[in-house]
């Protein structure tokens, strides 16, 4: 039977490479901060471990043996890879470095990503943020399989193994075609939804489910849906064309209603129907502390938007209120257009941090 040899240690490899470079024990020992006897012992132990003679020693000089000339190349490569391993581990330990794969739902991405990307660029320049836009079911699958690490979406999810970090609540706004009796009105009762021809997103969008829940709470039955759209932009253009009305989250209003002069918005009476947006991560995620810090930074960055920013705990206690400009998102009666006139959709005028 062959004797089981112990693998070389990093110290043995460093000693061998140092001797190979200096061809002198004293100089090699000084170069790596090791005593000469310890260096000699490390090289001898390496030769025993490998079962080959690496050096030819004489009283006057040290030479590499043929085996030593071949193996020193490998030894250098091993030490370089070990150094790279240590550097990579140090980089992993450093917060907000490396890759972060963020999943975002389509009814959030166009309206919040500018704020998210600006924050990451300015505050976390060494973070490689990769964004994936998908519906909720696909995002949760990606989180569970490890394809995604962090999600930005509507909650509550009620999914085991997923922790939510609430960011903000935002009200829904009623979007109507020009000339509609509810266009531009404030304090609209939820019960008004019972009689509206409400246009919805396709199945699979959480915003569709939220809109249907709001209608049920208002006492509306499950009326058949005859027209749907794959995205909010198409949905709003259908409203502008007179096919019905729809519900938009406040963060989407400025972007989506600015494309047509044939739209009006109306706000609901308090408490208005709303949705909650949060970050979501795997429970016990290795980078959980980083995600919590990111959530806090996002809450501060989102304050200029027409939302109610939430506290850091899972209960989402309000820590900020919407400004006058944020609350007065819909046109007043004086802002409504005359016949043939252009509708005036107020813009959000907050300034970023």
DSSP track, 198-243? B-EEPTT-HHHHHHHHHHHHTT---PPP--EESSHHHHHHHHHTTS
pLDDT score of 336 = 36
Quote the CA–CA distance of 323 and 119 in Å, as a whole number: 22
- Show the CA angle centred on residue 301, arms to residues 296 and 120, nearest 5°: 80
CA distances 155 to 31, 164, 186, 279, 339, Å, are 60, 8, 27, 9, 42
CA dihedral defined by 294, 155, 140, 256, rounded to 10 degrees? -80
pLDDT score of 224 = 61
Type and span of the H or E element at 43: helix 36-50
pLDDT score of 88 = 76
pLDDT score of 215 = 81
| Residues 10 and 49: beta-carbon distance below 8 Å | no
pLDDT score of 225 = 65
pLDDT score of 98 = 86
Quote the CA–CA distance of 276 and 281 in Å, as a whole number: 16
Quote the CA–CA distance of 89 and 85 in Å, as a whole number: 6
The radius of gyration of the chain's CA atoms, rounded to the nearest angstrom, is 32
| Residues 119 and 297: beta-carbon distance below 8 Å | yes
pLDDT per residue, tens digit, the chain (353 aa), is 455 678 999 999 999 999 999 999 999 999 899 999 999 999 999 999 999 999 998 777 899 999 999 999 999 999 999 988 887 777 677 889 889 999 999 999 999 999 999 999 999 999 999 999 999 999 999 999 999 999 999 999 989 999 999 999 999 999 999 989 998 899 999 898 888 888 888 877 888 878 888 887 877 766 666 677 888 998 899 999 999 899 999 999 999 999 899 999 999 999 999 999 999 999 999 899 999 999 999 999 999 999 999 986 544 444 333 433 334 443 333 333 333 333 333 333 333 33
pLDDT score of 332 = 35
pLDDT score of 317 = 40
Type and span of the H or E element at 137: helix 136-145
pLDDT score of 346 = 32
């Amino acid at each position: 039977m062959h004797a089981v040899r112990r693998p070389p240690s990093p110290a043995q490899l460093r000693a061998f490479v140092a001797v190979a470079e200096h061809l002198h024990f004293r100089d090699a020992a000084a170069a790596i901060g090791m005593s000469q006897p310890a260096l000699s012992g490390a090289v001898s132990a390496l030769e025993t471990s490998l079962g080959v003679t690496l050096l030819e020693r004489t009283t006057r000089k040290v030479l590499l043996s043929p085996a030593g000339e071949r193996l020193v190349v490998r030894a250098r490569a091993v030490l370089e890879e070990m150094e790279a391993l240590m550097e990579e581990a140090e980089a992993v330990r450093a917060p907000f470095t490396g890759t972060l794969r963020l999943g975002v739902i389509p009814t959030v991405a166009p309206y919040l990503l500018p704020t998210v990307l600006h924050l990451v660029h300015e505050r976390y320049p060494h973070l490689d943020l990769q964004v994936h836009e998908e519906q909720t079911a696909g995002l949760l699958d990606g989180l569970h399989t490890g394809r995604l690490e962090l999600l930005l979406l509507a909650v509550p999810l009620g999914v085991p193994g997923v922790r939510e970090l609430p960011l903000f609540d935002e009200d829904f706004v009623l979007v109507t075609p020009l000339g509609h009796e509810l266009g531009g009105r404030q304090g609209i009762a939820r019960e008004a939804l019972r009689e509206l021809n409400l246009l919805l997103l396709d199945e699979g969008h959480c915003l569709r489910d939220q809109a249907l829940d709001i209608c049920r709470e208002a006492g509306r039955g499950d009326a058949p849906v005859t027209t749907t759209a794959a995205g909010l932009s198409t949905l709003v253009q259908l409203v502008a064309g007179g096919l019905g009305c729809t519900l938009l989250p406040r963060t989407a209003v400025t972007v989506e209603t600015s494309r047509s002069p044939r739209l009006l918005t109306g706000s609901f009476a308090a408490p208005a129907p709303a949705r909650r947006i949060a970050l979501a991560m795997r429970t016990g995620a290795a980078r959980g502390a980083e995600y919590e810090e990111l959530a806090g930074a996002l809450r501060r960055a989102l304050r200029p938007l027409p939302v109610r920013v939430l506290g850091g705990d899972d209960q989402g206690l309000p820590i900020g209120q919407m400004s006058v400009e944020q609350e007065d998102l819909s046109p007043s009666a004086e802002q409504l257009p005359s016949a043939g006139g252009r509708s005036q959709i107020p813009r959000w005028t907050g300034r970023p941090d």
